[in-house]
Chains A and B, each alone.
Chain A
Amino acid sequence: MPVIEVKHLVKQFKTVKKEKGLKGSIKGLFKPEKKIVTAVNDISFSIEKGEIVGYIGPNGAGKSTTVKMMSGILAPTSGEILINGVSPAKDRKSVVRQLGVVFGQRTQLYWDLRLGESFELLRRIYAVDDATFNSNMKMMDDILGINSIIDTPVRQLSLGQRMRGDLAAAMLHSPDVLFLDEPTIGLDVDAKHAIRHFIKEINSTRKTTVILTTHDLGDIQELCKRLIIINNGVIIEDGSLDELVDRIAPFRQLIVDFYSPQHIEHPKAAIDKIEGARTVYRFEKSQITAAELIDDIGKQAKIKDIRLEEASIDDIIRIAYNEKSEHRA
């Protein structure tokens, strides 16, 4: 059974259309023109235990709305969400017991008090028994070095330390599923590394299912075996990063440095550009392998150096966002 099942999920918000100027404001007051905005439009997916899924999309795509519905904060307009077979809209309390949720831009820690006090409160709220609590705290110390900051008031923690605190807080009741909304936002390289290490660790040792929304390409590359890309409230891609690369950007670039300027053509590769002794070829993986191409070119001129480049994730995601929006338009 999948841990998370989302079926035909729709979320609509009612807003009032605003017209310009004072006249528009007054008109809006007396004759409000209601407009329905569809933030999430009929999305479905299912996630198995132990997956790490990157839920990505441009700002305003509907990512946070989906996460809020999955964690029971917002009620769906229609459609269904099941977390371990239970709907958060129907039985919020039993669903949230299995969830850990961290919003990168907010904290659930007691601002004025030492970090440890927030853990104590959560331990009571979730009624975590001593043995579980202690073993969880030990694990959080091993991965996140929590004990070094546990006695510091939360207001004095750096953003990276606070995020470590928030992640530990979300794991105290041993949830099956962890929702992370932009967990690495605003963090420095070291802190990002620590957070990614944490996600990998809990995923491999506890089989915790992780869904993270992020704009950070490093997060995606290092963590996400699977990507769900959403734009304008619709899922436009769902699959592994490799699949996505193959489909959206099936080409690679071969950069060849010769000893002198050359113009060597190949039937299965296009020339992107020639700069002095350097020629950049572009070819599709399905058409020819890199080795064959190098071999063929090498027969015609002596090669000094080569470099092979994949399309960057950056490019792929940009193409994914734009391509599908054009299709819709």
Chain B
Amino acid sequence: MKKLKHYCSVAMLSARLSIQSCIEYPIAFIGWLISNPIQFLVGFATIKFVVMEFDTIAGWDFKELAFLYGVSILSHGLSVIFFTKTWYMGWTIIHGEMDRLRLRPMNTLFQFLVGELNFVGFTDLIPGIILFVYGCISVDFKWTLYNTVAMICTIIGATLLRGAMYLGLGSITFWSKSPMNISGFLQELFNRTNMYPLSMYPRAVQFVFSFILPFSWICFYPASEFLGKDSLIKLPFGMAFITLALGIVMFMIACRIFSAGFKQYESAGS
């Protein structure tokens, strides 16, 4: 309990400091505040144009697509706040910056993730919230108890799932010694598999993104349950809980990879 309180107080202060760091560079922040939302509004506009051309995509109309996109971008925004650090962790490892984490009497992964929260991520979260609210209103999402719980599970699970991929793959640098920046590629994959309904792709592709690289759980499957849409996997209920479970399991695996990487690093040095 005392330990938890200690960790919380450090986390709170770190959050405050990252907000302060961000305020130090107001012009850069305004830049992000303008450019990040535009990025997603353009994505949103793209969907609108596609729908204008084809009317529906795999049976999803514009309102439903807006809902799908909103849920996806919301978890993206959250993952940017909590996991941006992992996008560049290859360089952090190579430059020996991880050493510092070992010198303080706290868990290294906690320090790594919490030590540098990315307040700039809020500029991603803002369009996420707007599109999410817009999507919910346009499909007339019912905030029943079950739906609310399921939505929260989806958002948390999706954020963890995204973070797990960044963290797990980023940790490979502990072994490879050569940083690779695949976060852009991953983000693209997450978007492609969740911006449009997965059911529009060939079955083989659907299979891959459902079972092998389970990215479509980020929001396609929960959203199809909310909207009663057909998909490769059909469950009467509980898609959101699979997303949450998947997020937790993948995040735990990523943590293990990180710890194992650190072990390797301890014995190999930089």
**In the complex the two chains form, is B6's CB within 8 Å of A113's CB?**
no
- B17 CB–A CB distance under 8 Å: yes
**In the complex the two chains form, is B20's CB within 8 Å of A113's CB?**
yes
**In the complex where A73-B266, A127-B6 touch, is A117 in contact with B17 (Cβ < 8 A)?**
yes
Provide the bound-state CA to CA distance between A73 and B98, in Å: 9
- A14 CB–B CB distance under 8 Å: yes
**In the complex the two chains form, is A93's CB within 8 Å of B21's CB?**
no
CB proximity of B230 to chain A, nearest CB, Å: 48
CB proximity of B198 to chain A, nearest CB, Å: 38
**In the complex the two chains form, is A153's CB within 8 Å of B24's CB?**
yes
Q: A71-B103, A74-B266, A124-B9 are in contact. List 12 more A-B contacts (CB 8 A).
A: A13-B269, A75-B266, A93-B105, A96-B104, A106-B96, A106-B99, A112-B25, A113-B17, A113-B20, A117-B17, A120-B13, A127-B6
Provide the bound-state CA to CA distance between A113 and B105, in Å: 23
**In the complex the two chains form, is A72's CB within 8 Å of B13's CB?**
no
- B102 CB–A CB distance under 8 Å: yes
**In the complex the two chains form, is B269's CB within 8 Å of A77's CB?**
no
Query: Pick the contact of A77 from B6, B10, B21, B267 — CB < 8 Å?
Result: B267
Contacts of A96 in B (CB 8 A): 102-105
Closest to A39 in B: B269
Chain A-chain B contacts (Cβ-Cβ < 8 Å), number: 69
Contacts of B21 in A (CB 8 A): 110, 112-113
Provide the bound-state CA to CA distance between A121 and B267, in Å: 29
By secondary structure, the A interface counts as: mixed
B1-33 interface bits toward A, Cβ cutoff 8 Å, 1 = contact, 0 = none = 000001001100110010011001100000000
CB proximity of A132 to chain B, nearest CB, Å: 15
**In the complex the two chains form, is B106's CB within 8 Å of A93's CB?**
yes
**In the complex the two chains form, is B266's CB within 8 Å of A124's CB?**
no
**In the complex the two chains form, is B99's CB within 8 Å of A121's CB?**
no
CB proximity of A171 to chain B, nearest CB, Å: 14
Contacts of A106 in B (CB 8 A): 96, 99-100
Provide the bound-state CA to CA distance between A65 and B266, in Å: 11
Interface CB pairs A-B, < 8 A, 20? A65-B269, A73-B99, A92-B102, A94-B105, A96-B104, A96-B105, A103-B99, A106-B99, A112-B24, A112-B25, A113-B17, A117-B17, A117-B20, A121-B14, A121-B17, A124-B6, A124-B10, A125-B106, A127-B6, A153-B24
The 6 closest A-B pairs by CB, nearest first: A112-B21, A93-B105, A75-B266, A73-B102, A112-B24, A97-B105
CB proximity of B23 to chain A, nearest CB, Å: 9
B93-115 interface bits toward A, Cβ cutoff 8 Å, 1 = contact, 0 = none = 00010011011111000000000
Contacts of B96 in A (CB 8 A): 106
User: Using a CB-CB cutoff of 8 Å, which residues 191-233 of chain B contact chain A?
Assistant: none
Provide the bound-state CA to CA distance between A113 and B267, in Å: 34
How many residues of chain B have a CB within 8 Å of chain A?
23
CB proximity of B270 to chain A, nearest CB, Å: 9
How many residues of chain A have a CB within 8 Å of chain B?
32
Contacts of A14 in B (CB 8 A): 268
Contacts of A74 in B (CB 8 A): 266-267, 269
Provide the bound-state CA to CA distance between A108 and B10, in Å: 16
**In the complex where A101-B103, A113-B24, A153-B24 touch, is A68 in contact with B10 (Cβ < 8 A)?**
no
Provide the bound-state CA to CA distance between A182 and B20, in Å: 31
Contacts of B269 in A (CB 8 A): 13, 39, 65, 68, 74
User: Using a CB-CB cutoff of 8 Å, which residues 107-146 of chain A contact chain B?
Assistant: 108, 110, 112-113, 117, 120-121, 124-127
**In the complex the two chains form, is A110's CB within 8 Å of B103's CB?**
no
- A99 CB–B CB distance under 8 Å: yes
Provide the bound-state CA to CA distance between A106 and B99, in Å: 10
User: Using a CB-CB cutoff of 8 Å, which residues 31-47 of chain A contact chain B?
Assistant: 39
**In the complex where A68-B269, A74-B269 touch, is A121 in contact with B13 (Cβ < 8 A)?**
yes
Contacts of A108 in B (CB 8 A): 100, 103
Contacts of A73 in B (CB 8 A): 99, 102-103, 266
A2-14 interface bits toward B, Cβ cutoff 8 Å, 1 = contact, 0 = none = 0000000000011
CB proximity of B31 to chain A, nearest CB, Å: 16
CB proximity of B20 to chain A, nearest CB, Å: 6
Contacts of B17 in A (CB 8 A): 110, 113, 117, 121
User: Using a CB-CB cutoff of 8 Å, which residues 204-223 of chain A contact chain B?
Assistant: none
Contacts of A94 in B (CB 8 A): 105
Closest to B95 in A: A106
Contacts of A97 in B (CB 8 A): 105
Provide the bound-state CA to CA distance between A261 and B102, in Å: 66
Provide the bound-state CA to CA distance between A94 and B266, in Å: 18
**In the complex where A110-B17, A117-B20, A124-B10 touch, is A13 in contact with B106 (Cβ < 8 A)?**
no
**In the complex the two chains form, is B103's CB within 8 Å of A121's CB?**
no
Provide the bound-state CA to CA distance between A72 and B262, in Å: 12
User: Using a CB-CB cutoff of 8 Å, which residues 253-269 of chain B contact chain A?
Assistant: 263, 266-269
CB proximity of B28 to chain A, nearest CB, Å: 11
CB proximity of B111 to chain A, nearest CB, Å: 8
Contacts of A125 in B (CB 8 A): 10, 104-106
Provide the bound-state CA to CA distance between A99 and B103, in Å: 8
Contacts of B25 in A (CB 8 A): 112
